[in-house]
Structure 1
Amino acid sequence: MSIEKVREYFKKWNMENRIMEFDVSSATVELAAKALNCEPARIAKTLALKAADEGVILIVAAGDAKIDNQKFKAKFGIKPRMLSPDEALAMVGHPVGGICPFAVNEGVRTYLDISLRRFETVFPACGSGNSAIELTIEELETCSCSREWVNVCKGWE
């Protein structure tokens, strides 16, 4: 299971016990915010998109942000296209609803969107549709192995 991969992944920072599992679904921003009793914007959703080389780009963004097609194309040289559920599981290593920037398959490139920077802590999923972890922005930077901060979203300003 993906959550076990993520739990193992977090052991290198002694953070595996911070992963929360819920009796209810947290597979969407709205459901996660309800499960965590927080504002939806603080959910760090991970969007899995096709890269120009047929690889995968993960964009971790605030729950109230949406991909801006023009900004994404300017940054990555292609129109954003979400992976299908089957593609996401095969290419990222986590199912839709639990996609996260932790313990992903080799070659997956992760980027953090600036929409997250307005929060002290955020809640990304942990590989399943009923899990999350609260991380500071600095912890998210470290644990996600992100390549860089990007500005490819809209609707959150």
Structure 2
Amino acid sequence: MSIEKVKSYFANYGMENKIIQLKESSATVELAAQALGCEPERIAKTLSFRVGEEVVLIVAAGDAKIDNRKYREEFETKAKMLSANEVEPLTGHRIGGVCPFAVNEGVSVYLDQSLQRFQTVFPACGSGNSAIELTIEQLEEYSKYIKWIDVCKGWEN
């Protein structure tokens, strides 16, 4: 199970006890915000894409949406999300629990600038009822991200 992989991953940092396992679903931004008692924009959603043969994860604020023009400028290709059948085999996590931790080999993680306005955010931890509260610095450290990018819209207002 994917959450067990994430717990094991965070055990390397002594952070496994910080993972929040919820009784209710946190598989969508709205459900996660409700279950965690926070603003939806503080949910750090992880979106999965294919860029050529590479799998790319983009972690963005809950209120952000992919801006196709910005995405094309960053990755030099049209945004193509993974299909529902591809997500788990290619990322290592099921839909609803996709996160930037303990991902499959060769998966690249990017952090979107929409997250930088928060002190802490809540990414999933491998299941549709888990999360962890991290500072932006911790998110950078534990996600092993490649770089910060600007590929989203709708969050600036």
Q: TM-score, normalised by structure 1?
A: 0.98
2:6 matches 1:3: no
Tell me, in whole angstroms, the C-alpha distance in 1 between the residues paired with 2:25 and 2:71: 29
Give the structure 2 partner of residue 133 of structure 1: 132
Aligned to 2:97, the other structure's residue is in SS state coil
Task: Give the superposed CA RMSD.
Answer: 0.5
Tell me, in whole angstroms, the C-alpha distance in 2 between the residues paired with 1:96 and 1:39: 21
Give the structure 2 partner of residue 14 of structure 1: 14
Q: Give me the identity figure in percent.
A: 65
Give the structure 1 partner of residue 67 of structure 2: 68
Give the unaligned 5+ runs of structure 2. none
Deviation at 1:123, TM superposition (A): 0.0
Tell me, in whole angstroms, the C-alpha distance in 2 between the residues paired with 1:4 and 1:85: 21
Tell me, in whole angstroms, the C-alpha distance in 2 between the residues paired with 1:25 and 1:55: 30
Deviation at 1:6, TM superposition (A): 0.1
Q: TM-score, normalised by structure 2?
A: 0.98
Q: Deviations over 1:98-157 (max 9, x none)?
A: 000000000000000000000000000000000000000000000000000000000000
Give the structure 1 partner of residue 95 of structure 2: 96
Q: How many residues align?
A: 156
Amino acid at match of 2:50: K
Tell me, in whole angstroms, the C-alpha distance in 1 between the residues paired with 2:3 and 2:138: 18
Tell me, in whole angstroms, the C-alpha distance in 1 between the residues paired with 2:37 and 2:80: 31
Aligned to 1:140, the other structure's residue is in SS state helix
Query: Following superposition, which runs of at least 4 residues in structure 1 exceed 3 angstroms of deviation?
Result: none
Tell me, in whole angstroms, the C-alpha distance in 1 between the residues paired with 2:81 and 2:129: 21
Deviation at 1:62, TM superposition (A): 0.2
Aligned to 1:13, the other structure's residue is in SS state coil
Give the unaligned 5+ runs of structure 1. none
Tell me, in whole angstroms, the C-alpha distance in 2 between the residues paired with 1:104 and 1:20: 19
Give the structure 2 partner of residue 82 of structure 1: 81
Aligned to 2:12, the other structure's residue is in SS state helix
Deviation at 1:51, TM superposition (A): 1.1
Q: Deviations over 1:41-93 (max 9, x none)?
A: 000000001112x2211000000000000000100011111111220101000
